[in-house]
Amino acid sequence: MKFIFADSLDVVDPNYDFASDSFAPGRKAYWGDRYPHEMMNPAPYDGVLVSRGIVGDHRFPGKYSSAQSMRFRRVGARQFLRLEAPRFASMPIFGDSGAFSYVQEEKPPYTPTELLEFYADAGFTHGCSLDHIIFDFDRETHGLVAGSDHARRRFDITLENAREFLSLARDLGPSFSPIGVAQGWSPSSVAESAARLEKMGYTYIAIGGLVPLRAEDVHRCLHAVRGRLSWDTRIHLLGFAKAEQIDDFARYAPTSFDSTSPLIRAFKDSKSNYYVETETGLEYYAAVRIPQAIENPRFMRAVKVGSLDSDTLLRLERHALESVRGYDRGTVQLDTAVESVCEYGSLLADDPSAGSRSRLKLAAEIRIATARTLKDRPWARCPCEICKQVSVEVVIFRSSNRNKRRGFHNLGVFFEHVQRLLGKEIARDSFQIPRRAGAAEC
Ligand SMILES: [Zn+2]
């Protein structure tokens, strides 16, 4: 089971100055920045997925600048992602059409030929067919009954595109693996889509549309799909947002899945920001929130209306940072560090005045989360390059360079977790729908 990291230009400045919160002098964005696989050894994933929607073009701008987008196609994905070193030689580079970027359109804005040209220009090793996302999921319907006209139209478009894509992909030769994307409005229609792709000749099938689904519905879909496909047909879980629950999904024997979740949760999750692997699996710590006084929009608003003054903000911010760093060095007590973070962070309350109800409530929440993280010092035990280099800065929720480094660390922990999972026996004949997903026939 391969973990494919869905990249969206996630890089850090390797020489970022944490003391002054500034980029290295003369830093050149992207050129001087580093990807996770450049910061960590071994790389924290088996391969990378780049979505056409992230690269973008003149019709649908992505995250890349137009110069980057053109260079990506010109020099190829491997050079652009700096995956040229011998240690990355066998690393696959997956592509997909980025169906979320055109979900509102009647039909995909590209043709299968255009998508294949994109894959060929950039030298992808694996490419997903041109799908169209179906949103109205109905777990109760069986067979191909039901499904709105809208859903059926997208189901047909996805399969027609896949047929054309496969016949064109044969021209690219054996160095390119076409992957057929299955879409549906119910477990059985997703399974039907997958079965038709297999019949067309696909030996690698991606299950799309999983992102918004609840875990039990993903189980229903994969159960139905596995029941229709040969065990020799490989399955990819496309945009698998539930990466941390991969243990539960291993029973369907996916060959690969792509996700960005371990990186994203470092700065988007309210509590689970820093990953650790324990005997019982993944566990999470909250990051220590010390936002930037002069950049936080909420603080700026409060200063503008006069409920906070910037001198106080800067003084408490400095005190929180120094206390946490002092705690890391062993010169500041745990309680002092925790209270300094609470005093500063609780200024984000609706009413930041001393003793206000909202401020006391927020302070109590910050106290619990921060005390647990600082007391356990998980960064001090982590052997990864990120934690060794930047120590406690990795758990501080502040600026992209800390937050993404924490995401890189998470990728490393998650990748090891997947490796460990592979060591456990996953017997094919133990394949069964989990009890908690219900006993619905698909
Ligand atoms: Zn680490």
Instruction: Calculate how far, in angstroms, residue 94's C-alpha sits from the geometric centre of ligand 1.
Output: 26
193-252 pLDDT, tens digit each: 999 999 999 999 999 988 888 999 999 999 999 999 999 999 999 999 888 899 899 999
3-state secondary structure 50-116: EEHHHHECCCCECCCCHHHHHHHHHHCHHHHCCCCCHHHCCCCEEEECCHHHHCCCCCCCCCHHHHH
Q: Which of 10, 217, 258, 328 is the catalytic position?
A: 258
Active site residue 136: no
Ligand 1 midpoint to CA 390 (Å) = 9
pLDDT at 426: 43
- Kindly report which listed range (42-46, 348-352, 424-428) carries the lowest average pLDDT score: 424-428
Selected residue with higher pLDDT from 58 and 384: 384
- Residue whose structure tokens are 């619905």: 440
Closest-CA residue to 159 (of 179, 177, 145, 180): 180
Integer Cα distance of 312 and 85 in angstroms: 49
Least confidently predicted of 132-146, 185-199, 370-384, 402-416: 132-146
Asked whether residue 53 carries a pLDDT value surpassing 80, the answer given is yes
Domains contained in the chain, CATH given? 46-259 (3.20.20.105), 284-407 (no CATH)
Query: Is residue 399 pLDDT above 60, yes or no?
Result: yes
User: What is the C-alpha separation between 357 and 306, in angstroms, rounded?
Assistant: 19
For the whole model, what pTM was predicted? 0.93
Q: What is the pLDDT of residues 90-132, one digit of tens each?
A: 999 999 999 988 999 999 999 999 999 999 999 999 999 999 9
| Confidence bin at 144 (pLDDT 50/70/90) | low
Whether 141 has a pLDDT exceeding 90, the answer reads no
Q: How far apart are the CA of 275 and the centre of ligand 1, in A? A: 8
Amino acid occupying residue 106: E
Is residue 206 within 8 A of residue 238, CB to CB? The reply is yes
Q: Is the peptide bond before 42 cis (omega within 30 degrees of 0)?
A: yes
The confidence band for 382, taking pLDDT boundaries of 50, 70 and 90, is: very high
Q: How far is the CA of 16 from the centre of ligand 1 (A)?
A: 17
Per-residue pLDDT band for 421 (boundaries 50, 70, 90) equals confident
User: Taking 50 as the threshold, does the pLDDT of residue 438 lie above it?
Assistant: no
10: left (phi over 0), alpha (psi -120 to 50) or beta: beta
Dihedral (Cα; 272, 275, 278, 281), 10-degree rounding: 70
Residue 12 pLDDT > 60, yes or no? yes
The reported pLDDT for the residue numbered 143 is 64
Q: What confidence score (pLDDT) does residue 57 get? A: 85
- Name the band, by pLDDT with cuts 50, 70 and 90, for residue 437: very low
Nearest partner of 85 among 36, 15, 45, 38, judged by Cα: 38
- Would you state the pLDDT for residue 139? 76
pLDDT surpasses 60 at 260: yes
Tell how far the Cα of 273 is from the centroid of ligand 1, in angstroms: 12
| Helix segments in 91-214, DSSP class H | 112-122, 149-169, 187-200
Task: Spell out the SS3 assignment of 219-235.
Answer: HHHHHHHHHHCCCCCEE
Helix axes 215-228, 187-200, angle to 10 degrees: 40
Q: What is the mean pLDDT of the chain?
A: 92
Based on the residue annotation, tell me whether 96 is a catalytic residue of this protein: yes
Contact 218, 140 (CB under 8 A): no
With b for 16 or more beta-carbon neighbours within 10 A and e for fewer, the 387-404 pattern comes to beebbbbbbbbbbebbbb
Average pLDDT in the 169-190 region?
A: 95
- Residue 433 — very low, low, confident or very high, per pLDDT cuts 50/70/90? very low
> In the chain, pLDDT over 90 holds for what percent of residues?
86
What separation in Å is there between the alpha carbon of 195 and the centre of ligand 1? 42
Report the alpha-carbon distance of residue 233 to residue 39 in Å, rounded: 35
- Which residue blocks in 270-398 are alpha helix, DSSP H? 297-305, 310-329, 334-345, 357-376, 378-381, 385-390
Q: Which of 96, 131, 217, 328 is catalytic?
A: 96
